[in-house]
A and B are shown apart, each in its own frame.
Chain A
Amino acid sequence: MSGYASLVNTPVGKRVATRLGLPRPARLRRYAVGEPLVDGPVLVGGHGAAPLLGEVRRVLTAAGSGVLDTLPAGEGLGAVVADLGAVEDPADLDSLRGLVGPALRSLRPSGRVVVLGRLPEAARAPAQAAARRALEGVTRSLGKELRQGATANLLLVADGAEDAIASPLRFLLSGRSAYVDGQVVTVTAAPGGPPPEPADWSLPLDGKVAVVTGAARGIGSAVARTLARDGATVVGVDIPASGDALARVANDVGGTALQLDVTAADAGKRIVAHAVSRHGGVDVVVHNAGITRDRLLANTDEERWRSVLDVNLMSILRMNEALLAEDGVRDGGHLVLLSSMAGIAGNRGQTSYAASKAGVIGLVRSLAADEDLRRRRVTTNAVAPGFIETEMTARMPFATREVGRLLNSLSQGGLPVDVAETIAWLAHDASAGVNGNVVRVCGQSLLGA
């Protein structure tokens, strides 16, 4: 834990922090191979016919979690899963209050609240649309109410996508989503039918080949390590000048290092050629390489503007021409792009960066809707990190950095591994129902909420 967080967790620091009403960041439960999905039994319930609850029970049981229908006395809860898929009217929301409200006191540290709902845009009546959209307000507020590392997230399930919720549900319950809070994840029918479940949930990328750009350090190196842990063979890409750090990552994960500037005109071709010749193909691409050249717009010259857009956005467009060509990413593959909180909320001094990261969102939406890619069952999603402890954020001025760390529901900065876990999850075949999403890994940052 960093400066502030470790200070307020000392006995004296704790007392001072409590007296001043300062937030006390909890140690978050993070995923480790072999650990239970949730820390404790899961209370399930919902409204009316609760159409998704059957699948929820199946998923929880398969994962070895205890499932409870009523709040136990004196026992801690690992999570509450509420199925509000059947709400017709805002009055129905009282079912949510009645189920979740009383359970919160029993929720263990790093507990989970997962609310399931249906897409507001698909509602048949205004009242139903209102009720469905209301779930977002409840969940986001709940994220802010919860303490001790507990999170609340909303899973919106499109009609016909009931069989695609296993992977997202597991993710939101597990330690993989430690720094994902107050978010809405939308599941639609996976292109090409129900997504396959892995033979082994601890090796969901077994046999897959993943390319990670910017893999030498920071988030990229965590992504490389996480994908490898999940079973993938990793090709790490980074600029030649970062080759020594890249070599360490590649050797640690038993992958290969490709020293390459992603802005090179033939970068995509070279990546495909490397992955195909060395590893037989590509299944997953994580476009992570990124830079900042922060200046107020008034002081931004053409070179700064150009380089940020080129590395963070235009290089992705160029590489995708080769990566998404017929001999590129294999059918059923997954693309994950790095957006940013700044791309959603904007940030003073980051016009160029925010342009590139908002552009990534536009790109992801368009690729997710692309008919050809859907036919090939290729999904595209973005991850938008909030404040993550890396060299990029270590360069921030002290005050800005401390504020960045604290201005979120979990009162701490995230770790590169938190972003990496989310990316890995989006790269799993079982997550194929999640397509065109922008998942924020920001501890429910107050910025751009």
Chain B
Amino acid sequence: MAAATPGPRRAAVIGGNRIPFARQNGAYAAASNQDMLTAALEGLVARHGLAGERLGEVVAGAVLKHSRDFNLTREAVLGSSLSAHTPAYDVQQACATGLEATILVANKIALGQVDCGAAGGVDSASDAPIAVSEGLRRTLLRLNAAKTPAQRLRALAGLRPGHVVPQAPRNVEPRTGLSMGEHMAQTALRWGVTRQSQDELAAASHRNLAAAYDRGFFDDLLTPYLGLARDENLRPDSTVENLATLRTVFGAGEGATMTAGNSTPLTDGASVVLLGSDEWAQEHGLPVLAHLVDAETAAVDYVTGDEGLLMAPAHAVPRLLARTGMTLQDFDLVEIHEAFAATVLATLAAWEDPEFCRDRLGLDAPLGALDRSRLNVNGSSLAAGHPFAATGGRIVASLAKALSEKGPGARGLISVCAAGGQGVVAILEAK
């Protein structure tokens, strides 16, 4: 007789927790990834009464990661109040790490392999790993392998002055040598995204995030950390007018539109989401905010210049819509990660463009316009900041809560772009 395996079921988003995001070298300058991820987990455990509980698994990751943190998530679990019998592993998919981790846990829940789990991510731009130069690294390896004093001397003799300059991590695509901002500037130009529209989006992000804080929306989504109770980057009084005064930092000459105000700053922070089956949630007296309906990942060829580096979600969403039989207009709320204001605007422009939708996406008709009042209604990365791997968890938890406030059946779309020309998108539906 074949062993009984449970059929697929929808994984529930039960709740979430994040620490406020801090600007690089700000409030969390001395905190490590492990510290922050542990803090985010502890808040999740406290909110949901999980002390001593064995979760099916915890999955998280960091983009900027020290080699000593090879078991980052498991170490964070061991430092938390969760049962030490909770397994954990690390994943990394650049800025989509948190969302991908969520999908991984949700899939195991859907398959019945686990009943519950936590997913998330953390990043510190302040406590970033610094690598030694390739020359110094080889010298040190040779020194380590040397057996005799003579061999040791010979190894050291290979050292050159230039070798000792450390290499801080750079936000650069290895295959193009261009920073993410430079890539985005090219795409912005291609789609004719104006400075004015970017500044408007940035101002809306700050306004929406501030309003969400003021009405207590984050009271059960966030736990203060190291004296910070709100995102350090948030400027509630940000306006299009004062954003217009900033100088451009990416692109060149006339066509440059991107500033520090409409691009996300380097940030430190962590977030986690609690997922489970409906039954597990019910047994634990926990709410089901939403279900994860489906998810899709796309990758584009940005290396040859065929497509913009951050345009993969523009390809992933129509595939997901086709599979689920939905349209862009079916969503009550849409979360498009604001890597840059221009990312969001170029993506929306692409979906409205008949040629792009026909030639690139193979669609008969464009996806059409998105009702902007449904977009990033509680603020997004421009205001909150973007600790790379932590953004997915931030979005999943706050969207799930916002959908559950809207009522049963409310649907939400998540779109997160990532380095390497990748994009991860997902659909949530309120229970």
Contacts and interface: CB of A to CB of B under 8 A. Distances in A.
B220 interface: yes
A84 to B, nearest CB: 48
Contacts, number: 68
Contact of A247 (B46, B52, B287): B46
Given A259-B219, A264-B216, A278-B286, A251 B229 contact: no
Contacts of B223: 243-244, 247, 259
B213 to A, nearest CB: 9
Nearest to A240: B219
Contact of B42 (A241, A248, A259, A260): A248
Nearest to B213: A240
Nearest to A247: B46
Contacts of A243: 43, 222-224, 229
Given A248-B42, A250-B46, A240 B285 contact: no
A279 B46 contact: no
A256 B287 contact: no
A248 B47 CA distance: 11
B49 A277 contact: no
B222 A280 contact: no
A251 B51 CA distance: 5
A242 interface: yes
Given A247-B46, A250-B46, A278 B285 contact: yes
Interface in A241-282: 241-244, 246-248, 250-260, 264, 277-280
A256 B229 contact: no
A251 B222 CA distance: 16
Given A242-B224, A257-B46, A259-B220, A250 B51 contact: yes
B48 A256 contact: yes
Contacts of B238: none
B397 interface: no
B311 interface: no
Nearest to B52: A254
A250 B285 CA distance: 17
Nearest to A259: B219
Contacts of A254: 49, 51-52
B383 interface: no
Contacts of A258: 220
Contacts of B351: none
A279 B283 CA distance: 10
Contacts of A251: 42, 45-46, 51, 81
B46 A240 contact: no
Contacts of A277: 285-287
Nearest to A235: B49
B91 interface: no
Contacts of A264: 216
Interface string B385-412: 0000000000000000000000000000
B63 interface: no
A174 B218 CA distance: 44
B84 to A, nearest CB: 14
A243 B229 CA distance: 9
A244 B216 contact: no
A258 B49 CA distance: 10
Interface string B75-89: 000000100000000
A283 to B, nearest CB: 16
B225 interface: yes
Given A240-B229, A259-B223, A260-B219, A247 B42 contact: yes
Interface in B262-316: 284-287
Contacts of B47: 247, 256-257, 259
Interface in B33-86: 39, 42-43, 45-49, 51-52, 81
A418 B285 CA distance: 33
A59 to B, nearest CB: 36
Contact of B224 (A244, A253, A278): A244
Interface in B227-266: 229
Contacts of B43: 243-244, 247, 257
A256 B17 CA distance: 14
A241 B286 contact: no
Given A253-B51, A256-B47, A259-B47, 15 more contacts: A240-B218, A240-B219, A240-B224, A240-B229, A247-B45, A247-B223, A248-B46, A250-B46, A250-B49, A251-B51, A251-B81, A256-B46, A256-B48, A260-B219, A277-B286
4 tightest CB-CB pairs across the interface, nearest first? A247-B46, A257-B46, A256-B49, A251-B81
Interface of B: 39, 42-43, 45-49, 51-52, 81, 216, 218-220, 222-225, 229, 284-287
19 contacts: A240-B218, A240-B222, A240-B224, A241-B224, A241-B229, A243-B224, A244-B39, A244-B224, A247-B42, A247-B223, A248-B46, A250-B46, A253-B51, A254-B52, A256-B47, A256-B48, A257-B46, A278-B284, A279-B49
